[in-house]
Amino acid sequence: MQDVKKLATGHEAVVEACFDAGAKMMYGYPITPTTEVFTGWIKKGGEYLQTEDEIAAGFAVCGGVIAGQKAFTATAGPGHVLMQDALSMAEGMRLPFVAIIGQRGGPSSGTVIYSQQEVTLACFGGNGEGLRLVYSPSTIEELYFLTRVAFNSAWKYQYPTIVLTDGYLLKSRGVFVADKTIENAESYPLVKEGEKKHWRNIYTFEEELNEAVVRNKKDFDSIKKEVARSENYQTDDAEILLVAHGIVGGAAKDAINELRKKGQKIGLFRPITLRPFDNEAFDKIAMRVKKVVIVESSLGQLAQIVRAEMAPEIATPIEYIQYPALGIEAEKIVDYFL
């Protein structure tokens, strides 16, 4: 099949990607800005259940995927907090759990459209070790593509998988190309009829839990090369390296175009997966630039990841542009450098 060019909102792109990924069931609870993912899925005829809260939605997804069904959910902000209970079970039991998260920030009920304040929650929420796959799309086209990739990664590697977006991108409308050539990973039951599987997620001894966590981390590290994604933009001769994810990554590109016209040698490293972070690709550039500038709509949630992942021998100075909860347009970034 050919790639198809479409005019659509972010919501519509996500819903189309879920259908194209072979998703069969959505459990949801209305919350801005992901309500339209739910209602869009329903309008297109997807099987669904509106649960009593995000806790039930999350655990019903757990039950569905254990049975072998491509089930998923979508939520935001306070719902994302409640979802951590089920995401933690999915991390512990290695469930192919897919969640679309539309960040709305916080603390508390936050706002409803724009934020990058749910990065830590998506990557490291729950009582666990952050063994999750977290994708951060920057355009509607990437929202479609990474939603497809998320289902495949979840069912291939069995980690909870999050498409971390925001209300701004979900509500934007634009032309995008839906890549219809992507092949889908097959779903399969994690409990087979009659196999008498005895499956626990609570351990009697600390040593047993230690073994399980170490094994899961080892697997996580071993898939990193296949899973980790990033984009380099104008980095070949760059002396300043911006780091930005999601839609801020898009604004950063516009800012770079402006600043280059003014003679600045500036480029962008854009992590597409926040977990696992593509540290090899990042380090290669970070070690040769004069400074790294991390730009985000939060007080350093991306910066925490970058600092933790950067090789300790890299001494490049790091600066921060942080506007928690605010939209970051190209001008804001350009102004920083003038």
Partner 1 sequence: MNQENAAKFCAGCGYSVILMILNQVLAAQNVQDKAVMGLDIGCSLLGWNYLPINTFQTHHGRVVPTMLGYKRARKESTSVAVVGDGGAYAIGWQSLFYAARRDEPITVIVVNNSVYAMTGGQTAPTTVCGQKTDTHPAGSCEESFYGPEILKTIVKPGAYLARSAANDPKGIFAALEKAVQTQQAGHFSLVEILSFCPTNWKTTGKATFDYLENLKKIYKIGEV
- Residue 205 binding partner 1, by CB under 8 A: no
DSSP-assigned beta bridge partners for residue 322: 296
Dihedral of alpha carbons 105, 53, 136, 319, sign: positive
Does 198 bind partner 1 (CB under 8 A)? Our answer is yes
Q: Is the peptide bond before 271 cis (omega within 30 degrees of 0)?
A: no
Q: Under the criterion CB under 8 A, does residue 30 sit at the interface with partner 1? A: no
Stretch that binds partner 1, among 110-118, 142-150, 190-198, 247-255 (CB under 8 A): 190-198
Of 97 and 135, the one with the shorter C-beta distance to partner 1 is 97
The C-alpha atoms of residue 288 and residue 282 are separated, in whole angstroms, by: 11
d(CA 276, CA 130): 9
| Contact status: 199 vs partner 1 (CB under 8 A) | yes
Residue 4 vs 191, nearer CB to partner 1: 191
Q: Does 67 bind partner 1 (CB under 8 A)?
A: yes
Alpha-carbon dihedral sign for residues 51, 55, 57, 63: negative
Which residue's structure tokens are 């979802």?
83
Cβ proximity to partner 1, 10 vs 128, nearer residue: 128
Question: For residues 3 and 47, which CB has a smaller minimum distance to partner 1 in the complex?
Answer: 47
| 249 vs 254: CA distance, rounded Å | 9
Name which of residues 82 to 101 contact partner 1 (CB under 8 A). Answer: 85-86, 88-89, 93
Among 71, 154, 242, 286, binds partner 1 (CB under 8 A): 71
Distances (CA, A) of 178 to 5, 147, 172, 246, 264: 6, 11, 16, 19, 35
Residues near partner 1, by CB under 8 A: 24-25, 27, 49, 51-53, 55-69, 71, 85-86, 88-89, 93, 189, 191-202
